[in-house]
Structure 1
Amino acid sequence: MKSVTVRELIKNIHLKPIYGEEYLDRPIVTSEISRPGLELAGFLNFYPAERIQLLGRTETSFVASMDEGIRLEVMERLCKQETPCFIISRKLEPPKELVEAAAKAQIPILQATSKTTQVSSSVTNFLEGRLAERSSVHGVLLDVFGIGLLITGESGVGKSETALELVQKGHRLVADDRVELYQYDELTLIGEAPEILNNLIEIRGVGIVDVMTLFGAGAILDQKQVDLVVHLENWTPDKRYDRLGGYMENVELLGVEVPKIRIPVKTGRNVSIILEVACMNFRAKKMGFDATESFTNRLTQLIAENKEV
C-alpha cells in the first residue's frame, strides 16, 4: 500500500507542527480527509480513523461547548492507532484535551493558516497526486505551446532527438524514456519523470544530457497534464496516412481517453516542426477552429457553384 509521511505533507503544504514533532514519520494511506462532526457528538460507528482529522472553527467551537467531564473521553476516542495526524485550520489553538490525548497516542497536531475548506482542498490534491495508482509508459513528455505532448514510438525512431530539438526551441521537458502517469480525475491524466531520470535525456552516440544544466531551469517542468499523444513510426510506402486531419483516434491510459495521432518518420522530414504544428492545430481545434472542417465547407461550396454554372 502506498503511503506518504506526515513529514512529507508538511514539506509540501503550508502546515506547522505545533505538537508531536517527534511523530512526523507516521504514514498517511488515503487521500480522503475527515471532519469529525458526528464523532465529536459521540457517534463513532463509522469513524474513518485512518484519515487525516481536520478541525475547523465549527469543530473547535463545538468541543468548547461540550461538558468538561466528557471532553477528554471524546478526544481519546478520536485518537486511534491508525490516525496519522490532526490538522487545526485558521491558526486556531487545539483543545487542550486533544493535545493530551494525542500525546498519549503519539499523534502529531498540525496548524494551518488558511480556511478549513482551502486546507482540505490543498491536502487532498497533494495526497491524490502522491497516492494515485501509477503506470509507466515508454515515451517522452513535453510542454509544447502549453499542450502536454506525449511522444511514443518504437525504440530508435527518434523520440529523444526530437525532444531535444523542441527543448532547444524553447519548449519544456517533463520526462524522457519513461513517463510515470497517474489519473488526477476522470478526465485528467498527469505525467512526470521517475526521480532517477529527472531533467535527463539520453541521446544515442552522445550519452546522458542534463537539460537543466545545458538549457536552464526554464527548460524543464516537474509534471504536466497529457493532452495529446503523438505516435512516431517509420514511414512505409504501403501504408496510408491521414492527410486531411478529419480523423483522430483516442488511446485509453489509466481510464482516461486521450487524443492520438500517428506521424510517419522518414529522411527529410523535420519532425520537431511537425509536432509544433500538431500542437498548435490541436489547440486551435479546442478553441473551435477546425481547418479540416473549413476546407470541407469550401470544397462543398465550390462544387455547388460549379453545378449551378
Structure 2
Amino acid sequence: MGKVSVSELIKRFDLKLVSGAEGINREITVSDISRPGLEMAGYFTYYPAERLQLLGKTELTFFLELDSNERFKRTDQLCAPETPCIIISRNIEVPEEFIVSSNNKGVPILSSNKQTTKLSSLLTNYLEAKLAPMTAVHGVLVDIYGVGVLLTGDSGVGKSETALELVKRGHRLVADDSVEIRKMSETELVGSAPELIKHLLEIRGLGIIDVMTLFGAGAVRSYKKVSLSIHLEIWDPKKMYDRVGLEERHTSLVDTNIPQLVLPVRPGRNLAVIVEVAAMNFRLKNMGIHTAQQFSDRLNQTLTTRRDMDI
C-alpha cells in the first residue's frame, strides 16, 4: 500500500497552504475522504481522523453560527494527531479558529478554488490510484488493439524486441523492463511505467531508445488495464505445447487472476505477429467467438456422424 504526502497533494491540485506548514510532510494512507458535518455539530464519537478532511460552504456556514468557544472546541478536535490535512473548497476565507488550531497542532489547512463535489471526486480518484495495492513485474506492457498485453519471460528472451516490432506495427508501449501494476478494483489491474523509465525501451546491442521521440506521441500511453499475460520461454522440445487453444491458463497478480498464454520462442518465429494475433483472438473470445471450441465441437460432431454411419 502506497502513501501520498500533503506536499504531493498541494503540487498535484495547485492548493494553497493557509496554515500548519509544520505538517506539510504528513502522509495520507487511506483514499476515503471525510466531510465532517456531524463533527461540526459536536459529534466526534466516530470521527475518522485518519482521513483527509474536506470542508465546503455548508459545513463552514454552520460553523460560523457557533459561538467562539464552541468553534475552538471543534477545530481543536478536528486537528487530531492522525489527521493528514484539512482542505477548504471554493476559496472560502478560512476562519481564524482553524488557523490557530492548525498551527498549534501542526495540521495543514489547504485552500482550493474548486467546487466541493468536484474536488471530492478528483481527490478520491487520485488517492485511489496512488494508494491501490501495487506490485512491480519484470516484463513489458503493450496496448494491442485496446488489449493490455503483459509480456513476461526470462531476461534476454526477446520481450523488448517484440515490443519494438509491435510499436512499428502501430501499437503502443506502456512500460518496458519494469511494470508497476495496481489493483484498482476486485477484477481490474492497471499497469504503468516507473517515472524514471517512462517511454523508454532497452534493446540489447542498441541501448536505450525513447519510443515517443522516435515514433511519436501515438506510440506510447501512460497506463493501461492489464487484460492478458503472455509468457515467453525458450522452446523446449520435450515439452508439450497447446496446439488447439482449448487449454485455459491463468496467472495471479496482486491477488487477481488474469488469462495467460505460454509462447515458445525459437529462431524463425515472428513473435510480434503471434502476440498481435493472440490479442485479437482474446478480443474475439470476449465477444463470444471461441474458434478452438467451435473446431472441437465440429470435430466431435463429425466423429459422431461417422460412427453412426458405420453402425
The aligned counterpart of 2:131 is 131
CA contact (8 A) 2:91 2:111 kept: no
C-alpha offsets along residues 9-51 of structure 1, whole Å, 9 cap, x if unaligned?
A: 23334x5326239568332331232222332222324433232
Q: Which has the larger displacement, 40-49 or 256-265? A: 40-49
Q: For the structure 1 residues 60 and 287, does the alpha-carbon distance in structure 2 shift closer, same or farther, using more than 3 Å as the test?
A: farther
Deviation at 1:115, TM superposition (A): 4.3
The aligned counterpart of 2:286 is 286
CA contact (8 A) 1:212 1:220 kept: yes
Distance 2:279 2:19 in 1: 50
Distance 2:147 2:9 in 1: 29
Q: For the structure 1 residues 204 and 65, does the alpha-carbon distance in structure 2 shift closer, same or farther, using more than 3 Å as the test?
A: same
Q: For the structure 1 residues 59 and 288, does the alpha-carbon distance in structure 2 shift closer, same or farther, using more than 3 Å as the test?
A: farther
Distance 2:132 2:94 in 1: 31
CA contact (8 A) 1:18 1:111 kept: no
Deviation at 1:95, TM superposition (A): 4.3
The aligned counterpart of 1:97 is 97
Alignment root-mean-square deviation, CA: 2.5
CA contact (8 A) 2:20 2:99 kept: no
Distance 1:28 1:112 in 2: 23
The aligned counterpart of 1:203 is 203
Amino acid at match of 2:197: L
Identity %: 48
Q: Which has the larger displacement, 46-55 or 101-110? A: 101-110
Deviation at 1:104, TM superposition (A): 4.3
Q: Which runs of 5+ in 2 are unaligned?
A: none
1:29-178 correspondence to structure 2 within 5 Å: 29-30=28-29, 31-89=31-89, 92-106=92-106, 107-116=108-117, 118-178=118-178
Deviation at 1:221, TM superposition (A): 1.7
Distance 2:242 2:19 in 1: 62
Helix, strand or coil at the partner of 2:38: coil
Helix, strand or coil at the partner of 2:184: strand
Amino acid at match of 1:302: T
Amino acid at match of 1:28: E
Distance 2:274 2:148 in 1: 15
Helix, strand or coil at the partner of 1:284: helix
Helix, strand or coil at the partner of 1:39: helix
Helix, strand or coil at the partner of 1:237: coil
Q: Which has the larger displacement, 162-171 or 88-97? A: 88-97
Helix, strand or coil at the partner of 2:44: coil
**Matched residues, number:** 307
Amino acid at match of 2:74: V
Helix, strand or coil at the partner of 1:152: strand
The aligned counterpart of 1:19 is 18
The aligned counterpart of 1:270 is 270
Amino acid at match of 1:49: A
Distance 1:21 1:163 in 2: 48
Deviation at 1:178, TM superposition (A): 1.6
Quick check: 1:189 aligned with 2:189? yes
Helix, strand or coil at the partner of 2:279: helix
The aligned counterpart of 1:212 is 212
TM-score relative to the length of structure 2: 0.88
Q: Which runs of 5+ in 1 are unaligned?
A: none
CA contact (8 A) 1:99 1:109 kept: no
Helix, strand or coil at the partner of 2:260: strand
Q: Which has the larger displacement, 206-215 or 30-39? A: 30-39
Distance 1:157 1:302 in 2: 41
Amino acid at match of 1:110: S
